[in-house]
Amino acid sequence: MSLSASIAKADTKNLDSNHNWRQVLRKAWRKPEELLDYLQLDSSLLKGIAPGQQQFPLLAPSAFIEQIEKGNPEDPLFLQIFPQAAEARQQSGLLQDPVGDIKSQASPGLLHKYHSRALVITTGACAIHCRYCFRRHFPYTSVTGGRSDWQQSLDYIRANPNISEIILSGGDPLMLATAQLEKISRSLLEFPQLKTLRIHTRIASCLPERINTRLVHWLRELPWAVVFVHHINHPQEIGSAAELAFTRLQSCTQMQLNQSVLLQGVNNKAEVLIQLSEKLFGNSVTPYYLHQMDQVQGAGHFNCSDIEARQLMRQLRAAVPGYLVPRLVREVTGEPGKTPV
């Protein structure tokens, strides 16, 4: 049976021995009015959110919501997940696919933008919906075909021995059952040139229950260097459950990095970025990238100017050692790597 067929057949309920994280996810917040009520926020915040909410609905699990300050509509975590009327504003210069992912596909769901690395879009699912997401309009189903075209991706990797690193991305690759991840990794064993498996995930701060014993076991058994790239934008996202997830990952990864997106009203203050770097370091996670936001339609209200971004970096450099200063970058379509700002 081909890998694609067996992934499709995987019974996600029964194959992951400790699937408590799915129960947690089922209870995630999905109704804006209920969330406002829980956070003691005024229902006037519902005004005008319908368009964004329909295309890209609210989704946030309890670990993330519990870090939000009740009664504060400016809370930096709340702003990241709550649909806003501003999302419906059409702005020139903003795109549906701001980084050219669709054009970069070497095979369905496999992006080969950078020489030695290939990125696999494993799933369109996420544990949380971030309002600024550059893939918020991404046509996951038509692009990945539900991974039914996985064989083509394997053929492409076979034909390109320069690929030494596979990046599992999405959506969030950790939304797949561990059994599905095991099938993917088994299919990659045939490629002797592979040195590194990288996992891009937002799970640690929003669904830390996913870093369970079976996942850790899978990671520990992999024959490659495993690099986790977390996505955390604000120090308030790192609660005790996220800290436990980082600790568990220490035993089965070569390196844990973090990438943040610079977001107006969320983390565009030097003291926030300083605190974020220090908190990550305290958890053995290295600040890696600070991204200028990809210019995606519906998220223009989060934009920060390059002037502001550079000023923040100067303040950050003056306050923390160099190894805690992330690189300020943006992704430019067609460039062979991230572009320094």
As a whole number of angstroms, the distance between CA 174 and CA 203 comes to: 7
The distance of closest approach from Cβ of residue 110 to ligand SF4 in the complex, given in angstroms and rounded to an integer, is 17
Strand ranges in the chain using DSSP code E only, listed in sequence order: 105-107, 110-114, 117-121, 165-169, 196-201, 225-231, 255-262, 286-292, 327-330, 339-340
Using the minimum distance from each CB to ligand SF4, give the nearer residue, 109 or 171: 171
Q: How far is the CB of 67 from ligand SF4 (least distance, A)?
A: 16
Q: How far is the CB of 99 from ligand SF4 (least distance, A)?
A: 12
Beta carbon nearer to ligand SF4, 113 or 135: 135
Closest distance to ligand SF4 from the beta carbon of 171 (Å): 6
Q: What are phi and psi of 181, to 5 degrees?
A: -65, -40
| Nearest distance, CB of residue 207 and ligand SF4, angstroms | 10
Structure tokens at 115: 């020489």
Query: What's the token pair of residue 224?
Result: 């490659």
Q: How far is the CB of 294 from ligand SF4 (least distance, A)?
A: 10
C-beta of 138 vs 150, nearer to ligand SF4: 138
User: Quick one: tokens of 105?
Assistant: 């596909």
Please state the φ and ψ torsions of residue 145, each to the nearest 5 degrees: 60, 30
> Between residues 119 and 126, which has the closer beta carbon with respect to ligand SF4?
126
Residues forming the site for ligand SF4 (CB under 6 A): 126, 128-130, 133, 135, 170-172, 202, 231
Identity of the residue, 138 or 246, whose beta carbon is nearer to ligand SF4 in the bound complex = 138
Smallest distance, ligand SF4 to C-beta of residue 172, A: 5
Nearer to ligand SF4, 194 or 304 (CB): 304
Q: Given the complex with ligand SF4, which of 129 and 234 has the nearer CB atom? A: 129
Cα angle vertex 231, ends 230, 237, to 5°?
A: 105
Per-position DSSP letters for 99-148, written without gaps between them: T-TTTTEEETTEEEEETTEEEEE--S--SS--TT-TTTT--HHHHHGGGT
- Judged by CB, which is closer to ligand SF4: 183, or 202? 202
Sequence length of the chain is: 341
151 Cβ neighbours under 8 A, 6+ residues apart? 2, 3, 4
Phi, psi at residue 333, to the nearest 5°?
Answer: -55, 130
Distance in Å, CB of 202 to ligand SF4, minimum: 4
Distances (CA, A) of 233 to 200, 262, 287: 14, 8, 11
Taking a C-beta distance cutoff of 8 angstroms, is the pair 304, 263 a contact? yes
CB of 192 to ligand SF4, least distance (A): 31
Q: How many CB atoms lie within 10 A of CB 314?
A: 10
Between 22 and 151, name the residue whose CB sits nearer to ligand SF4. 22
Name which of 195, 290, 194, 286 is nearest 249 in CA terms. Answer: 286
DSSP one-letter code for 95? B
